[in-house]
Amino acid sequence: MEETNYLQISGMHCAACAVRIEKSVSRIEGVSTVSVSLATEKGRVTFNKEKTQLSDIIQKIQKIGFGAKEIPDTSQLSEDRHNEMKDLQWKFFISSLLTFPLAWAMVAHFKWFSFIYVPELFLNPWFQLALTIPIQFLIGLPFYEGAWNALKNKSANMDVLVVLSTSAAFFYSHYLTFESLHSQNQTHPIGLFYETSAFIVTFILLGKLLEAKTKLKTTEAIQKLYQLQTKTAILYQNGKEIEISVGEVSPGDIIVVKPWGKVPLDGQVIHGYSMIDESMLTGESVPVEKQTGHFVYAGTVNQDGKLTFKVTKKDSETTLSQIIRIVEEAQASKAPMQYIADKVTEVFVPIVIFIALVTFTAWYFLFQPGDFYEALEKLITVLIIACPCALGLATPTSVMVGSGRAAQKGILFKEGKYLELLGKNTMVAIDKTGTLTKGEPIVTDLYVEKNYSENAFLELVGAVESASDHPVGKAINKMVNEKLLYLPNAAQVSSMPGYGVKGFIHGKKVVIANPRYFLKNNESIPAHAAKKVSEFEQQGKTVMLAFIDSRFSGIIAVADEIKTTSKDAVCRLKQMGIDVIMLTGDNQTIAMTVAESIGIKRYRAEILPQEKAEIIQELQKEGHKVIMVGDGINDAPALTVADVGIAIGTGSDVAIESGDITIMTGDINRVVDAMMISKKTITNIKQNFLWAFLYNIIMVPLAMLGMLAPWIAGLAMAFSSVSVVLNSLRLKRVKIH
């Protein structure tokens, strides 16, 4: 039996760390998948409980030198990151304080700064040694620990480069300092690298501090979702209102929400009237009317009236909880592009070390023969200028910000890969009912044969349709309930996907289906009924025939209004160069009427749910990358076979798990917005990769040629990863329709 768990992982300093954890954990028997994100500092692991335990996985991660613990409360991560930032701030402050005299002393090496007074004490090598020791071995201790753990596990990461460069600078200077005891000239005649070591550590800490701050900004979207959750609810029990913990509330309990209070859990209103702001879930700014029978959702805000509702879902199962889980999964997962960076990172550090040794050799033997000081300076510069961090952050930070921006508009990407794949598709297949149309049809026409009274007919039809989830069935059921006060229970009721429903009532067999069902089963439709069917269909209405005991008994015509946003959305898709095809189970006449009014030229009508999947496979064979957009009810097969499946709906009506992407609102424009966010995110990732590669391609040769000082290299390396995160944050400003 497999289960998936999330871990908070500490001690990662670059992408190589994340890759090393993944490799080590993947070797554990029973682990099927593992994904570690440097940007979120979280890992997701799926494993067989019969072969290994979560504790074994945590121990393995700890054994290779990283901290790991299960995440019981994801909202705690924000507090942990703030604590981490405070720790970095103190380390940076102390390191800067100790580095300042060394930086002051450094100006003595430059003639153009000769006018600046430098205290003699600052030039004393013993004083510099005393300042550098705590920077190198106390503040810099995590770098040594990380490097040792990496080498112990036969890998190399950024810590290895930092330790090699700073240790080379420190120990060479340390050697010269003690060597000066034997020299008659005690006025510091030789060049030391103490300030180089201190500068590198200080600048790296600065980079990590800025990186931590900017990373927090990338998680703003998920933090806002956490803030929507409430810890208490007002329970109505025995005529009293009692404030209790949300965790103590069970489905069936009665909860009271006062004006301007947050809805604590999902439920159905049993008393009261109010307007509720659901923008935090759906992205729609207009408040929604709520009264008896309507559903309310955790995290939404009650604006004026007092509402009493019955809880339908416990805390961990609310729509808000599902949204948070999906956003977290998307941010913890890897986009396909990330694997490119992972491959490069695996060999990055060993290559840099090799280049540094070549640089040292070239300077010591060719460019400035015998000058150990110059050769060592160039080696240190090469080691420190290279930065795999930017490569490691290129993809995950963009995915975090992009998916977070989408979530603010009610667009949920289940995995990071769909955020990347969506923008690469060339065709959109769209279901009609509930997607392009409102999915809330109403009965417009009713015809009953003379052998039945209208009430008797509606009683039989209503009883069989009462349990239907299909929009047409709901429309019929609503009309029947308005006319009749009581409906008997039907027996052996079963749905016929793509056709209708059937069952038994009062010993009579009742079949309510579209004309195709009866033609398929060779059941004759009277001429006068066929004429009416044709008339209704020409008007763009969906027609359902009722057969009672295998005899034609009546016609119910239903009309479904087209969404006002559908035409605009289709126009936007065309402007983006995307082909659009409409798929529907309705007849050709209705399909043509709807398609023409929206502006869709290509459509397929009279198809069953499983046939939609076959059509998508045909389109894929033609070379198209296909997005399927459906309501998540009858479109599951098509959503599954499509390159990307998008389930669209509202609130609890949407099957959140049925698609790769979920649109929480019924606005089809959100599909186009999702594609725009995807394309912008892909562009952003490419920009990050380009910058990361160009940085290393340009800066490493400059360091090899001796055109950069070590302290400049440390500063540049520190800011290279920060720049990637800052570029990713631009996605927060993506304009949504």
Which 3-state string (H, E, C) describes 488-547? CCCEEEEEECCCEEEEEECCEEEEEECHHHHHHCCCCCCHHHHHHHHHHHHCCCEEEEEE
User: In the β-sheet with 661-663, what is the strand arrangement from edge to edge?
Assistant: 411-413, 661-663, 644-648, 626-630, 427-431, 579-583, 602-604
For residues 533 and 517, what is the distance between their CA atoms, to the nearest angstrom?
14
Which of the pair, 404 or 704, is modelled with greater confidence? 704
- Residue pointed to by tokens 């239903």: 558
Over residues 36-55, the mean pLDDT reads: 84
State the pLDDT at residue 653. Answer: 44
State the pLDDT at residue 285. Answer: 65
Per-residue model confidence as pLDDT tens digits over 378-431: 998 898 888 777 777 788 888 888 888 888 888 888 888 888 889 888 899 998
With cut-offs at 50, 70 and 90, classify the pLDDT of residue 510. Answer: very high
The terminus-to-terminus CA distance of the chain in angstroms comes to 44
- Angle among Cα 398, 401, 402 to the nearest 5 degrees reads 80
Q: Tell me how long the chain is.
A: 737
Q: Is the pLDDT of residue 187 over 60?
A: no
* Mean pLDDT lowest among 55-64, 301-310, 329-338, 423-432: 329-338
Q: Is the pLDDT of residue 570 over 90?
A: yes
Over residues 360-366, the mean pLDDT reads: 94
User: Residue 431 catalytic?
Assistant: yes
Q: Is the pLDDT of residue 76 over 60?
A: no
State the pLDDT at residue 324. Answer: 79
User: Given phi > 0 = left and psi -120 to 50 = alpha, else beta, which region is 30?
Assistant: left
Q: Is the pLDDT of residue 138 over 90?
A: yes
Please name the residue ranges forming H helices in 28-75: 54-63
State the pLDDT at residue 341. Answer: 74
Query: Which residue of the set 253, 342, 431, 667 is catalytic?
Result: 431
Q: Half-sphere exposure of 144 toward its Cβ, with a 13 Å CA cutoff?
A: 9
For residues 43 and 399, what is the distance between their CA atoms, to the nearest angstrom?
15
Over residues 284-310, the mean pLDDT reads: 86
With cut-offs at 50, 70 and 90, classify the pLDDT of residue 600. Answer: very high
Q: Is the pLDDT of residue 516 over 80?
A: yes
Q: Is the pLDDT of residue 619 over 90?
A: yes
Which residues have CB under 8 Å from 449's CB, separation 6+?
Answer: 552, 553, 554
Per-residue model confidence as pLDDT tens digits over 671-700: 999 999 999 999 999 999 899 889 889 999
- With CA atoms as reference, report the closest residue to 235 among 246, 222, 219, 221: 246
* Mean pLDDT lowest among 11-20, 87-96, 575-584: 11-20
For residues 159 and 42, what is the distance between their CA atoms, to the nearest angstrom?
20
Over residues 68-88, the mean pLDDT reads: 70
Q: What is the DSSP string of 451-487?
A: TS-HHHHHHHHHHHHTT--SHHHHHHHHHHHHH-S--
SS3 call for 1: coil
State the pLDDT at residue 650. Answer: 52
| 14-18, 300-304, 703-707, 708-712: range with highest mean pLDDT | 703-707
Please name the residue ranges forming H helices in 552-668: 566-575, 588-598, 609-621, 636-641
For residues 200 and 194, what is the distance between their CA atoms, to the nearest angstrom?
10
With cut-offs at 50, 70 and 90, classify the pLDDT of residue 190. Answer: low
Q: Is the pLDDT of residue 654 over 70?
A: no
φ/ψ (deg, to 5) at 706 = 80, 20
Instruction: Yes or no: say if 334 and 38 are a contact pair by the CB < 8 Å rule.
Output: no
State the pLDDT at residue 702. Answer: 93
User: In the β-sheet with 274-277, what is the strand arrangement from edge to edge?
Assistant: 288-290, 274-277, 301-302
For residues 273 and 459, what is the distance between their CA atoms, to the nearest angstrom?
32
Please name the residue ranges forming H helices in 153-296: 158-179, 194-218, 220-228, 279-282
- Angle among Cα 115, 119, 122 to the nearest 5 degrees reads 120
Strand partners, 601: none
With cut-offs at 50, 70 and 90, classify the pLDDT of residue 511. Answer: very high
Q: Is the pLDDT of residue 188 over 70?
A: no
Q: Is the pLDDT of residue 221 over 70?
A: no
* Mean pLDDT lowest among 70-74, 127-131, 394-398: 70-74
State the pLDDT at residue 386. Answer: 82
Tell me 414's DSSP state: S
Percent of residues, the chain, with pLDDT higher than 70? 91
User: Given phi > 0 = left and psi -120 to 50 = alpha, else beta, which region is 276?
Assistant: beta
State the pLDDT at residue 602. Answer: 94
Q: Which amino acid is at 529?
A: A
- Residue pointed to by tokens 């490691």: 392
For residues 416 and 23, what is the distance between their CA atoms, to the nearest angstrom?
20
State the pLDDT at residue 677. Answer: 93
Instruction: Yes or no: say if 682 and 580 are a contact pair by the CB < 8 Å rule.
Output: no
Tell me what the pLDDT averaged over the chain comes to: 84
197 burial level (CB within 10 Å; 0-12, 13-18, 19+): buried
For residues 201 and 173, what is the distance between their CA atoms, to the nearest angstrom?
16
Percent of residues, the chain, with pLDDT higher than 90? 27
Over residues 352-371, the mean pLDDT reads: 93
State the pLDDT at residue 622. Answer: 92
Per-residue model confidence as pLDDT tens digits over 252-263: 999 999 988 899
What is the signed CA dihedral for 98, 134, 713, 195, rounded to 10 degrees?
A: 60
For residues 288 and 615, what is the distance between their CA atoms, to the nearest angstrom?
37
Which residues have CB under 8 Å from 55's CB, separation 6+?
Answer: none
